[in-house]
Homo-oligomer: A and B are copies of this chain.
């Protein structure tokens, strides 16, 4: 379990992304705090919708570039939510030292033996920035 300080940083970070997307004209909703039982089963961290384009995110805060790994239950709930909504599923990574956001489509994650879904450091550094995310539908990204 992460400590209190890192959970507060995590929430601040989710709120930052929610505000950015709201300013870009999205309808945005954040999941209930992780104390809520319901949340653990069903909800991604953030859902954003604009003109029927639906984006769902698990949010991850890193100090610097490094491989990103996410627990499988979080990716499973993200993918299931996106499937039901016909949405696009991303791991949204804020890198503190770069003060930038990167968006990794779940489709490129690789599952490890221990059941984590991971992207390499290189995949992270080549992931979508915010502007690209806002401009590019997922179908185009995956066909690259």
User: Interface on A for B, CB 8 Å cutoff?
Assistant: 15, 18, 22, 25-33, 36, 38, 42-44, 47, 49-52, 54, 56, 80-87
Contacts and interface: CB of A to CB of B under 8 A. Distances in A.
Contacts of A51: 86
A53 to B, nearest CB: 9
B31 A87 contact: no
B33 A33 contact: yes
Nearest to A51: B86
SS of A interface (majority): mixed
Given A18-B38, A31-B32, 4 more contacts: A27-B82, A28-B42, A33-B36, A52-B52
- Nearest 9 CB-CB pairings of A with B: A27-B84, A27-B85, A49-B85, A27-B81, A32-B32, A52-B52, A52-B86, A29-B29, A29-B47
Contacts of A52: 52, 54, 85-86
A81 B30 CA distance: 13
A47 B50 contact: no
Contacts of A38: 15, 18, 30
A80 B50 CA distance: 12
Nearest to A82: B27
**Which among A25, A29, A42, A49 has the highest number of chain B CB atoms within 10 Å?**
A29
